[in-house]
Structure 1
Amino acid sequence: MSLSSPLRRIIPALLSFLLLVAAYPVVVGPAQARSHSVESASPDLTFPLAVGHREVLVSLPEHHDPSVARPVILTFGGWHETPEQMAATTGLREASDAIVVYARGVENAWAGAPYSATSPEEDLAFARDAVREVAARHPVDWSRVYAVGHSNGGAFALLLACRAPDLVAGVVSVAGMFYDPVDAACVGDPVPVQVIHAEDDPVAQVSGGLRHDAHFLSAREMLDRWADRNGCLSVPFSRAGAVPGVTAHEWWGCHAETRSLLSDGGGHGWPPHAAWEAWDFLSRQNR
């Protein structure tokens, strides 16, 4: 079949045009360029935030959706422990879907310890203000605000449960240093409490003792006080924990869940399992 005269003229012209286009690179339009730059520039999910004259370090979840109200974990380090160290070592951000707020204590200490530079009232107000400042920038689920602390910070987390039960829906103390009177003048409703401690802790000895010329409670004394405050009806039931070498002690008939995880070893550091155990406990608590 022979091609018509007009078609014979069109085909060479079309082939010339296609060869000309192939010889030049594709130019990305402005809209495409903007889209690519947004995708490749991931936002910084950990940042400092001023709270009055003080500061916290905020870590948003990895897949943070600014339209979703998130739980908040207030995190308090031990004496001389900075928010940056807590963010690097605890694993709380990786273990949870919460906004983790690493609080900075005055002189890196928290009220209740003999070396603290602040009163309980000052640090309690700071904790409340920290959540408000975060909530002013990111949606917060106020029914799921939690506290986790290590050493001196672990005792302060329990102080929040004692004095600010309207703020926190649950708390976890890790290697807590329970100086008297860490649970004095408690108010309001019971609060779920979990204590994570090592039997061989050389600093916050599980049996209690004296440090910095001040008496501190044993982990069992602290738990017995909270079992009483939370209205538990029985002695704790003991069972093997999810992690080898850890024993879980759980009280029954409580108005708020009360339990401990005691490990055979680990000393005074932050245990590898602590973040996951903390979030497993806290994620089922709400006000």
Structure 2
Amino acid sequence: MRASSPLRATVAVAVAFMMMLACDSAADSEPPADAPPAMPASGTGTVTIDGREVTVHVPESYDPGRPAPLVVGLHGYTSYGSEMESYMRLTPESERRGFVYAYPDGLTDNRGNRFWDATDACCDFYGAGPDDSRRLSELITTLQGAYRIDPARVYLIGHSNGGFMSFRMACDHADQVTAIVSLNGATWNDPAKCRPSEPVSVLAIHSSADETIAFDGGRNGRNAYPSAPATVAQWLGHNGCAESGRAAASLDLVVDLPAAETSVRSYEQGCADGSTVRTWTINGGRHVPQLGPAFAPAVTDFMLSQVKPAR
């Protein structure tokens, strides 16, 4: 039997309404174009932030009700985030010590090598001019929005170009950074280019036989970078530390050198706001030392021992 005209009209309206609801539901299920990336709730996940991949590890112990430390790892020139992690092996420390851990990728240059635009000596060799200082600052802010991060415990660790970039972040964003660890990197050669707004603790690790970033300073292309002692001296000045440090027990961090190959010196006297500057000198070490199992726990101990004073 055919439906009457009024009934057909009613059915048509109902169908149209249901279709509209279905379309609205589908639209609601799609995140808006400017929505923040879906961060992993636990474990390891890779997301795209500002056009670049960032891998984030959230430890099983993470509790949104309790502020957690944040560690950001920065790779060297020609490397990338996951390779840096396989070298430094900080993910087990994230699980053991309960910090959120992120390792982003830098931009790719004209030769296909990833890099950070840290200082004039390292490592934007082709003039791309990315504002990596801003990007990494915004990454920290994004992670603080996604997780409950303790602003008094935010740390950066980097190797080579990543070490340079860690120093750059301490120069530019001292209000966001508690402490940095640089392995075979350096700060600006011109001290006037680094004006931190407040103290940042520094662990400067240098290999005495580094064939790429020389312990005694040098040039990377046309621009100079400071020696290991000059880098440390700059940060003693920034933090207001006395120049006379004290020696501590040597460490065994590198597997292909004799035991306790790394000399340690600590500068704490006079340092403002409880900050510190520490040096580890890998005697006989090269640019990419063969890190042993003690390295990751030792650098984690340093980072987590530094806490910004309450504001």
TM-score normalised to the size of structure 2? Answer: 0.72
Kept in 2: contact 1:196–1:274 (CA 8 A): no
Aligned partner of 2:115 in structure 1 is 109
Whether 1:263 and 2:282 are equivalent positions in the alignment is: yes
Q: Structure 1 residues 207 and 73, CA, compared in 2 at 3 Å: closer, same or farther?
A: same
Partners of 1:114 and 1:89 in 2: how far apart? 21
Structure 1 residue 114: deviation in Å?
Answer: 4.7
Partners of 2:122 and 2:285 in 1: how far apart? 25
Kept in 1: contact 2:122–2:164 (CA 8 A): no
Kept in 1: contact 2:77–2:116 (CA 8 A): yes
Whether 1:237 and 2:246 are equivalent positions in the alignment is: yes
| Rg larger for | 1
Within a 5 Å distance, the mapping from 1:91-106 to structure 2 comes to 91-96=89-94, 97-106=98-107
Residue number among 271, 283, 286 corresponding to 1:254 in the alignment: 271
Structure 1 residue 44: deviation in Å?
Answer: 6.5
Kept in 2: contact 1:74–1:101 (CA 8 A): yes
Q: Structure 1 residues 265 and 53, CA, compared in 2 at 3 Å: closer, same or farther?
A: same
Q: Which amino acid is the alignment partner of residue 49 of structure 1?
A: V
Aligned residues: 244
Partners of 2:212 and 2:136 in 1: how far apart? 26
Structure 1 residue 235: deviation in Å?
Answer: 2.1
Kept in 1: contact 2:199–2:239 (CA 8 A): yes
Aligned partner of 1:226 in structure 2 is 235
Kept in 2: contact 1:159–1:182 (CA 8 A): no
Residue number among 136, 156, 180 corresponding to 2:165 in the alignment: 156
Q: Structure 1 residues 118 and 283, CA, compared in 2 at 3 Å: closer, same or farther?
A: farther
Unmatched 5+ stretches in structure 1: 1-42
Aligned-partner SS, 1:46:
strand
CA-to-partner distance for each residue in 1:92-116, whole Å, 9 max, x for gaps? 2222421111021112211124541
Partners of 1:183 and 1:102 in 2: how far apart? 29
Identity of aligned residues (%): 25
Partners of 1:51 and 1:181 in 2: how far apart? 32
Partners of 1:67 and 1:134 in 2: how far apart? 16
Q: Which amino acid is the alignment partner of residue 280 of structure 1?
A: D
Whether 1:285 and 2:283 are equivalent positions in the alignment is: no
Partners of 1:77 and 1:62 in 2: how far apart? 25
- Name the Cα RMSD after superposition: 2.2
Aligned partner of 1:194 in structure 2 is 203
Partners of 1:219 and 1:167 in 2: how far apart? 25
Partners of 1:183 and 1:199 in 2: how far apart? 26
Aligned partner of 1:69 in structure 2 is 67
CA-to-partner distance for each residue in 1:129-155, whole Å, 9 max, x for gaps? 212222333221122111111101101
Structure 1 residue 88: deviation in Å?
Answer: 1.7
Kept in 2: contact 1:162–1:183 (CA 8 A): no
Q: Structure 1 residues 118 and 45, CA, compared in 2 at 3 Å: closer, same or farther?
A: farther
Unmatched 5+ stretches in structure 2: 1-40, 109-113, 253-259
Structure 1 residue 197: deviation in Å?
Answer: 1.4
Aligned partner of 2:9 in structure 1 is none
Partners of 1:183 and 1:69 in 2: how far apart? 35
Whether 1:134 and 2:143 are equivalent positions in the alignment is: yes
Partners of 2:236 and 2:138 in 1: how far apart? 29
Q: Which amino acid is the alignment partner of residue 198 of structure 1?
A: S
Residue number among 71, 77, 86 corresponding to 1:79 in the alignment: 77
Kept in 1: contact 2:123–2:161 (CA 8 A): no
Structure 1 residue 226: deviation in Å?
Answer: 0.6
Aligned-partner SS, 2:232:
helix
